[in-house]
Structures are given as structure tokens and as C-alpha cells.
Amino acid sequence: MTEDQKKQFEAKARDMMDWLCANGNPHMTIIITQTAAELLSGEVGFQTNEFVRD
């Protein structure tokens, strides 16, 4: 990835982060692929590394 591509990516990501802060809530996530954009709202979550093996 070139430096120009990194700067473009950051600019686009900042746009989406700004939109999410203005229009979403703390539980929302955006997933973007080459063919779709999805807005998700997770109400309950749990994370653990308890079962990860080295």
C-alpha cells in the first residue's frame, strides 16, 4: 500500500467515523466490503481469551 493510498483510506474512514458519531450510538459498527456496506447494532457482547491456545 502506498502512502497516498493510506492517506485516502484514512480520509474515507474519518468520514464514516464522523457520520457514525453524528448519527449512531455507541453500540453501532459499520462493515464495508467491495460490494456492500452494513450498519450493525450490537446490544450485548462478550469477549474472552480464556480458550485461546498459544
Per residue in 2-54, pLDDT tens?
Answer: 999 999 999 999 999 999 999 998 889 999 999 999 999 988 888 999 999 98
State the pLDDT at residue 27. Answer: 87
Structural domain boundaries in the chain? 3-41
State the pLDDT at residue 6. Answer: 98
* CB-based contact 37:53 (threshold 8 Å): no
The answer, as to whether pTM is greater than 0.75, is: no
